Amino acid sequence: MPVADHATYCKMLRRAQENRFAYPAINVSSLTTANAVLKGLAESRSDGIIQVSTGGAAFASGSSVKDMVLGAISLAEHVHRVAGRYPVHVALHTDHCHPQHVEGFLLPLVEETERRRRAGLPNLFNSHMFDGSTLPLKENLDTSVPLLERCAASELILEVEVGVVGGEEDGVKAGAEHASKLYTTPEDMLETARRLGEVRGAVFLLAATFGNVHGVYKPGHVKLKPSILKDGQDAVERELGPEARFFLVFHGGSGSLPEEIHEAIDYGVVKMNIDTDTQYAFTRAVADHIFRNYDGVLKVDDDVGDKKKYDPRVYLGMAEGAMARRVQEAARALRSEGTTLYRG
């Protein structure tokens, strides 16, 4: 199927919330990694989300160019062209746009969608993330509301973050000064629901924090408190009604225990970001090939090597397959396996 339209994406999110599962949201930075996600989702019979960070987008444009907007557009256009070959729905999303990149990344991509819509073309992306979590809540929401208004006018979903995810993601590290914001309070979630809920017709996602940390950790190392999400959702429902409950996003899930993931889903998580684990799966396959074929990959002792071993298509194909299998594992963990809306 083509990339999901707005109505299909909204239906995906509602269905996940009602049936207590979440979609894998996988970061990509190349055609190969995008293909791996599509392959993994299709083999899982799971719809899902392909997302691009500022750093991933810059990488995709080439090391001599490093243009975040160009890289994001290039990756999105590739997915638009090939997604129709796969029997699942996929949405396109941009990840973790910090305040300093709004003018240079998020808004140009919104403008690109606005241009496409005027030309009768589908949206480039389905949703964007503004990460104002390092700002005071009022300043975060003062920026988020007009962004949401503009996104809603073009049937784009906006993801916001309230509270800080620890660790480091895409070169941005949460410092010690953010320790008090590692757990989003019910009061902050309620204020977010009030402010964003004033934008008529808008759909938004909330990345609330409950001890989650970006990076790689052994299972059990990260101490999550999913009950934070329940407390916030309950506060919102009491004050504003059940229709105001959030579509929640789980960031920093590496090292989380299955029961913690499932509890978070039960409280309204419909999207879980996955990057670290799929990066490792991709690289592990390349390393395995090189270690096993050292004298073929390299021209050792004046030998000529083996072109069938050092052809990048060989090991990148293995990497694509390994990453696709990790995507399948994510779909099983998030209970989205076999849930696709596609009925072709």
Task: Assess whether 95 carries a catalytic annotation.
Answer: yes
- By residue count, the chain amounts to 344
| Selected catalytic residue, list 5, 47, 95, 142 | 95
Whether the CB-CB separation of 205 and 158 falls below 8 Å is answered with yes
d(CA 83, CA 344) in angstroms, rounded, equals 14
Which residue matches tokens 């096993």? Answer: 292
Whether the CB-CB separation of 68 and 61 falls below 8 Å is answered with yes
Cα dihedral: 103, 105, 112, 48 (round 10):
-140
Nearest CA to 36 among 326, 337, 288, 274?
326
DSSP letters, 306-320, are -HHHH-HHHHHHHHH
Q: Beta-carbon neighbour count of residue 88 at 10 Å?
A: 22
Contacts of 126 (CB under 8 A, 6+ apart): 3, 4, 6, 9, 91, 92, 93, 156, 157
Q: Which residues are known to be catalytic?
A: 95
